[in-house]
Amino acid sequence: MDKGPYSVPAMATWPLRPPVETHPDETSGPVSALACVRAAARGVAALADPAVLAGAAVEAVWLGAHVATWPVGLVTGAGRPPEPSYRLEHLPPVQRGLLVSDVEAAGTPILLVHGVVSNRSIFTLLRRGLTRRGFSNVFAMNYSTVATDVRTASLRLAEEVEQIAAETGFERIHVIGHSLGGLIARYYVTRLGGDARVHTLVTLGTPHEGTRVAYAVPTRLARQMRPGSGLMRELARPAHGCRTRFISYWSDADAAIFPQRSAAIRHRDLTARNVRLHGAGHLTLPMLGDVVHGISAALAQLDADGTTVRSGATPLSRRD
């Protein structure tokens, strides 16, 4: 179901469950010539869409801004908050409203996980938007994508989640992953037992079923992101009893994900809501106002079992 966007239980068994197996060869089969021709035809047709052209212009501007802020993200923005303040009168109405209506939702930690060739600076606007809406514990992590793979990075993510849980006292948190960050978080949740820690996982432009763009990059990490790779087959395995709820944002103009629909979550064991965006570029996803609003609404309204706590809110669905 592709519509617009729209408490923490006790801990389950811990520690992490190890991966079932490793896959030294992540290479999948080649893309057919016919598929390439069809892709090119669709790409030419998309260029005539004004929304796609506007999205491409915004993407170019955001790329320049991200390049400019990238060095800053290496040294600042981890988001370790100071001791909590219990005064409300100095807060703007939106922040004060969330704290008054649901102090647990406002305090539940949110961890932001970036993608390839990026760092936490990609979340500058999203982080500001979440904070302004009343979420008081917003963290962001950096990790190296040069000499790593998804499985190794997921172990690094597990350490970060444990540290946040220890610092804040919350047993479960929310995770928002952009691009590769969403794939790392999904592996942690579904293959390493991270669903005991992660209440809701939001992914932005994540290649859940791989991307053919990865064929252009001859690295181990890129091979893992190819359709049909060992990693993709592992993620497609059953995930019975997964407690994490998923929200996936994907765009029909995402040049980093092909086919674009592969950024939606389609797994019979995962409770997921897929939100399709039109004309948005890959780097633009974390800065869109609709995305910030949708994430904020979801994290303020979702109960522990994935249902909503306010009448009129759109529930998660198992259907695409």
Neighbours of 226 (CB within 10 A): 24
pLDDT at 4: 37
Average pLDDT over residues 83-103: 52
Tell me what the pLDDT averaged over the chain comes to. Answer: 78
> What does each C-alpha distance from 144 to 74, 250, 268 come to in angstroms?
11, 24, 32
Average pLDDT over residues 136-144: 92
Give the CATH number of domain 33-81+90-301; options: 3.30.1490.440, 3.65.10.10, 3.40.50.920, 3.40.50.1820.
3.40.50.1820
pLDDT tens by residue, 10-60: 333 344 444 444 444 455 455 455 555 555 555 545 556 776 666 666 656
pLDDT at 52: 66
pLDDT surpassing 80 at residue 210: yes
The 3-class SS string of the chain reads CECCCCCCCCCCCCCCCCCCCCCCCCCCCCCCHHHHHHHHHHHHHHCCCHHHHHHHHHHHHHHHHHHHHHHHHHHCCCCCCCCCCCCCCCCCHHHHHHHHHCHHHHHCCEEEECCCCCCHHHHHHHHHHHHHCCCCCEEEECCCCCCCCHHHHHHHHHHHHHHHHHHHCCCCEEEEEECHHHHHHHHHHHHCCHHHCEEEEEEECCCCCCCHHHHHCCCHHHHHCCCCCHHHHHHCCCCCCCCCEEEEEEECCCCCCCCHHHHCCCCCCCEEEEEEECCCCCCCHHHCHHHHHHHHHHHHHECCCCCECCCCCCCCCCCC
Domain locations in the chain? 33-81+90-301
pLDDT surpassing 50 at residue 3: no
Q: Which residue has the higher pLDDT, 311 or 95?
A: 95
Yes or no: say if 277 and 3 are a contact pair by the CB < 8 Å rule: no
How many Å apart are CA 125 and CA 136, to the nearest integer? 15
How many Å apart are CA 193 and CA 187, to the nearest integer? 9
The residues, ordered by sequence, that sit 6+ positions from 68 with a Cβ below 8 Å of its Cβ are none
Query: pTM for this one?
Result: 0.76
Q: Please, which pLDDT band fits residue 144 given cuts at 50, 70 and 90?
A: confident
Average pLDDT over residues 165-191: 96
Yes or no: say if 73 and 122 are a contact pair by the CB < 8 Å rule: yes
